[in-house]
Chain A
Amino acid sequence: MLTCKEVLESLSDYLDADMKEDIVNEMKRHIGSCSDCRAEFDTLTMTIKLYKHEHAQSGPQVMPVGCHDRLVKVLELEKMKSKGPQPPKMV
């Protein structure tokens, strides 16, 4: 029989489906019958849903204009430092 403390400590593993089946069943039983643990479970589940939804909405983080060129310049300077004055063309 799992205690509330054990259930709360295992909530993330439970949400990530990263535990053995017999423990999953015990977790299910406990959460189904304990309103405090159910609120913990529901709010943690919703938190994960919310930031995944937010992440999906915000899309990939695009590099600012000129960022690639500045990176290439930094790397070319580094090459010049390490190999002498013959800057190879990078990209």
Chain B
Amino acid sequence: MAAATDEELVRKSKEDDERAFGELVSRYESKVYSLALRMVRNPEDAEDVLQDTFLRAYRGIKSFQGASTFSTWIYRITANSALMRLRKKQLPTVSIDDAEERETPVNIADWTPGPAEQLLSQELQHEMDEAIGALPPEFRQVFVLRDVEEMSNAEVAEILDLSVAAVKSRLHRARLKVRNRLAGYFSDNAKPKRSAMGAH
């Protein structure tokens, strides 16, 4: 028997079919968890976001009009829940307004002679992780959906309820911020090695 479509499962869930909602949970829980973890960056918070997301979905399924797909809807709830959690915890990120600072250093050194595989040491991986973690939550949302989950600008715009232009602008600035952090790493690494890195 062919698996039910999301639309069928949503329709049945609206009619109080618990199994149908359970099937939607099974279908999306891993993706929601993965997305949440990439946004909030620790497993406990990601699990809280997962639970919050499906609780909201459960409460809201009857009013879900189907104007977007179920996947877009559930990712929107996930992104909002993750954003609220990040704001609540007030992690040491800069606000989106502070992020208006100049993002392009003058005469940036070119540190790109080798292939990515060679450059990606554990230390650099840690630096990259820190750079993504330091992005303002609103930038990180766009960055994770667009560059990590590899969704299109239009999909990200729909999920986050932003214009495509706003998605593109935030993505560009997020990429520059990550790049600038890596540029700092490479320029520091041209000097004697730091000792405080590596423990993660």
Contacts and interface: CB of A to CB of B under 8 A. Distances in A.
Q: Are A and B bound to each other?
A: yes
Interface of A: 8-9, 11-13, 16, 18, 36, 38-40, 42-55, 57, 60-64, 67-68, 70-72, 74-75, 78-79, 82, 88-91
B107 A36 contact: yes
Q: Is the interface of B mostly helix, strand, loop or mixed?
A: helix
- 3 smallest CB-CB distances across A and B, nearest first, come from A12-B172, A90-B22, A61-B34
B132 interface: yes
Q: Which of B26, B110, B124 has the most CB of A within 10 A?
A: B110
B94 interface: no
B37 interface: yes
For chain B, which range describes its interface: under 10, 10 to 19, 20 to 34, or 35 or more residues? 35 or more
B193 to A, nearest CB: 20
Interface in B116-172: 116-117, 119-120, 124-125, 128, 132, 147-148, 153, 168, 171-172
B99 interface: no
Interface stretch (B2-10, B49-57, B72-80, B85-93): B49-57
